[in-house]
Amino acid sequence: MSETLSYATKKQQVVDALRTCFDPEIPVNIFDLGLVYDININDDNEVYIDMTLTSPACPVAGTMPGEVATRVNMIDWVKYTHVELVWEPQWNMEMMTEAARLELGFM
């Protein structure tokens, strides 16, 4: 099945999976919060994600990357997901989608 899926479709499926992961302190998913910086999918259907957290002191720093990988690995064509936690650039509220800002009352 994965041979017939375009890169854009695969990437959208990864984004949809990421939208099921929530920061425990903010009622918005990590993708719309702007915590996901990069998504790459290679020809072997391995997914590489660079993401950050709202703060280096975030209490889920040890567990969030694993939760993200677990959710993405649930996609049938994904063979492996590697999540890299990065701190540059530093996250700020302007990285949120318009929908996230609206939901949090910032608009």
Domain CATH code at residue 41:
3.30.300.130
- Which of 16-20, 24-28, 89-93 reaches the highest mean pLDDT? 16-20
Average pLDDT score over the chain = 93
pLDDT of residue 71: 98
- Let me know if residue 101 belongs to a domain: no
Q: pLDDT tens across 71-86, in order?
A: 999 999 999 999 999 9
CA distances from 6 to 1, 52, 69 (A): 11, 27, 21
* Residue 81: alpha-carbon gap to chain centroid: 11
The full 3-state SS of 56-73, as one line of letters, equals CCCCCCCCHHHHHHHHHH
Q: pLDDT tens across 33-60, in order?
A: 999 999 999 999 999 999 999 888 888 8
- Let me know if residue 9 belongs to a domain: yes
> How would residue 27 be classed by pLDDT, with cut points 50, 70 and 90?
confident
Q: How many domains does the chain have?
A: 1
pLDDT of residue 3: 62
- Let me know if residue 104 belongs to a domain: no
- Let me know if residue 72 belongs to a domain: yes
- Let me know if residue 102 belongs to a domain: no
